[in-house]
A and B are shown apart, each in its own frame.
Chain A
Amino acid sequence: MKQIEVNHLTKKYNSLTAVDGINLTAEDNELLAVVGPDGAGKTSLFRSICGLIGFDDGEVRIGSYDLSESFDKIKPLLGYMPQQFSLYPDLSVEENLHFYAGLFGLNKEEFNKRKERLYNFSGLGAFRNRRAQNLSGGMKQKLALSCNLIHNPKILILDEPTTGVDPLSRRQFWEILKSLCQSGSTVIVSTPYMDEVALADRTIFMHCGKKLAEGAPDELIAMYEGDLYRLEIEPTAQQMKKFDNLKGLSARRFGASIHLYVSSGIGEDEIRRRLDQIDIDSSRLEKITAELEDVFIQLMGAEPELENIIE
């Protein structure tokens, strides 16, 4: 069943259109990622879906309710974790959970039952008496998530929960989200980082208020037009200069190697021939898969002249 349905949502702030005609659906058991840089409109979209801000056009349905008609029915279904979720730093892990349980009107028995379940999947049980201010960044985010789960929401909307969190904690956090979905929840989560979406069922690329593309991670990568190669040579300024005169091929430094972007139809032999012509050693050339970021940039519409992007 569709838990969230958003049709042509538009949100404007004076002359700025933050969300521009977005369509989105999420079903039972689905983990949906919304990926885009700061300013893409992710937060405005999420706040609109949760009924926290009004919007200018479009429709939001949560469960079987229309947001504009039945906000009170929707509230108990929703958990929303904003980007800056407030924990009480001088309260312990358990006291924070207890506080949020109180806000949602849980009785003692329900609280005790749910808290143990939350400790179980978050791994926070061992730290239940530790003050929130003494938790690591990753654990803080797990506690914030737990506070949002205390009332057992059917639908969870998380705005950049993993910003500033290390890769291992981020992976663990996504695995928690995945298991929530498997046990029946619907989760929408936003992130500025492309590498996070491996565990998402579907991903929406968002930029300047618009949806650039939607699909499973491998479907998005398959949208890339052209080929990508890694060339293992020391990318000194001198070496990079040689690429300036090369047609049909653009080179970018990538750490200790070079990435070559090649239009479709130019084969590996031809690339080697062209590299030889500019006196570049092509012996360590390897075709690689495009990354989500490459796809995102291509979808943004080739590399636009930077200074002209915004007024």
Chain B
Amino acid sequence: MNNAVVIDNLTKKFGDFTAVDKISLKVEYGEIFGFLGANGAGKTTAIRMLCGLLLPTSGTGMVNGIDVNRYPEKIKASIGYMSQKFSLYGDLTGRENLEFYGSVYGITNQRLKVRIEELSRELNLENFIDRLTGSLPIGWRQRLALAAAIIHKPKIVFLDEPTGGVDPVFRRKFWEILYQLADGGTTLFVTTHYMDEAEFCRRISIMHRGQIVEIGRPQALVDKYNEPDLQETFISLISGLENNE
């Protein structure tokens, strides 16, 4: 089993509207995959299916070896999710937040204590884990949010614009941590509107009107469209498609 995510012709319709239209892709374990698209292209609907929150209308999908059609409940326990908007409890300390999220995933007592120590070391949380979360700068909160998302050691983590608005030094630090996680075999599935973040991914896909219109390495796409960077590539690709309609 080499693929963390395998989806084949995955489709979701809401009445007459096809939000996700036969998308297929594979993501390997340990890969950092960028899932891009215009507003309203269907990214959120696709992610909700992959996280077991929404049943597909047709098509198949396996996430961490679990069938999205048959066992969506099991998927929830086996993945991690982190969003820029995802809020930790501001009036709890970092440690208390991690204890809370750990217990939600059924990790308790000594196991939880050991896991929090481990995360604190790996993500360099030591200096602020016992401070109130609400008083921390956003870059540190993001690292705590990541720790909460991976407290149950998921093999796949979905990250929704994980570093939006974060100061660039913190952002680089955060990506170093993501690369370390990927080296350890964790799969990172990143959605973002920000092309500089997309460039940090190993491979990306671009969605438009429910379909995946491009997939590949960022630099390969930039070369293919003969644009200076990914931002211009995205704009040229999507505006080209919109003008053809």
- Which range holds the interface residue count of chain A? 35 or more
Does B76 sit within 8 A of A, measured CB to CB? no
Q: Which chain B residues border A171 with CB–CB below 8 Å? A: 235
Inter-subunit contact A306/B173 (CB<8 Å):
yes
Q: How far is the CA of A297 from the CA of B170 in the complex (A)?
A: 10
Interface pair A253/B202, CB less than 8 Å apart: no
The answer to whether B183 touches A39 (Cβ under 8 A) is: no
Q: In the assembled complex, which residues on chain A have CB atoms less than 8 Å from the CB atom of B37?
A: 166
Q: Measured between C-beta atoms, what is the minimum distance from B76 to chain A in Å?
A: 25
Most buried by A among B167, B180, B219, B239: B167
Are B193 and A164 in contact (CB-based, < 8 A)?
A: yes
**CA–CA, A123 to B114, complex, Å?**
56
Asked if A257 contacts B238 (CB within 8 A), the reply is no
Known contacts A37-B168, A254-B199, A303-B169; is A167 also within 8 Å of B235 by CB? Answer: yes
Of the candidates A38, A167, A291, which one forms a contact with B166 in the assembled complex, judged by CB atoms under 8 Å apart? A38
- Name the residue on B nearest A291 (C-beta): B196
Contact digits for A253-269, partner B, Cβ 8 Å, 1 yes 0 no = 11111000000000000
A window 271-311: CB within 8 A of B: 291, 293, 296-297, 300, 303-304, 306-307, 309-310
Residue from A163, A167, A296, A310 within 8 A of B168 (CB atoms): A296
Cβ–Cβ contact A307 & B39, under 8 A: no
How near does chain B come to A212, taking the closest CB pair, in angstroms?
A: 11
CA A6 – CA B124 in complex, angstroms?
40
Stretch of A48-56, A89-97, A187-195, A213-221 on the interface side: A187-195
Cβ contacts under 8 Å, B239 to chain A: 168
Interface pair B40/A255, CB less than 8 Å apart: no
Q: How far is the CA of A193 from the CA of B161 in the complex (A)?
A: 12
Assess the B196–A256 pair: CB atoms within 8 A. Answer: no
Residues of B within 8 A of A193 (CB): 194, 196
B138 at the interface (CB under 8 A from A): yes
A307: B residues at CB distance < 8 A: 124, 127-128
| B61 within 8 Å of A (CB atoms) | no
| B residues less than 8 Å from A306 (CB atoms) | 124, 169-170, 173
| Complex alpha-carbon distance, A49 and B235, angstroms | 34
Residues of A within 8 A of B194 (CB): 167, 193, 195
Nearest B residue (CB) for A140 = B39
Give min CB distance, A127 to chain B, whole Å.
12
Task: Give every chain A residue within 8 A of B179 (Cβ-Cβ).
Answer: 235, 237, 253
Q: Which listed residue, B164, B173, B202, B231, touches A256 by the CB 8 Å rule?
A: B202
Residues 228-242 of chain B, each 1 if its beta carbon lies under 8 Å from chain A, else 0: 000100110011001
Q: Do A195 and B195 touch (CB < 8 A)? A: yes
Residues in B with CB closer than 8 Å to A300 are 167-169
Would you call A207 an interface residue if the criterion is a C-beta within 8 Å of the partner chain's C-beta atoms? yes
Q: B48 contacts the other chain (Cβ, under 8 Å)?
A: no
Contact partner, B202, options A255, A291, A293, A297, Cβ 8 Å: A255
Q: Which chain A residues lie closer than 8 Å to B52 at the CB level?
A: none
Q: Would you call A138 an interface residue if the criterion is a C-beta within 8 Å of the partner chain's C-beta atoms?
A: yes
Q: Residue of A at shortest CB range from B194? A: A193
Asked if B47 is at the interface (CB within 8 A of a chain A CB), the reply is no
A252 to B167, CA, bound (A): 17
A-binding residues in B (CB < 8 A):
37-41, 124, 127-128, 137-138, 161, 164-170, 172-173, 175-176, 179-180, 183, 193-196, 199-202, 217-219, 231, 234-235, 238-239, 242
Can you list 15 A-B pairs with a CB-CB distance of less than 8 A? A37-B138, A37-B167, A166-B38, A166-B238, A167-B238, A169-B39, A195-B196, A236-B183, A253-B200, A255-B217, A256-B202, A291-B196, A293-B168, A296-B168, A307-B124
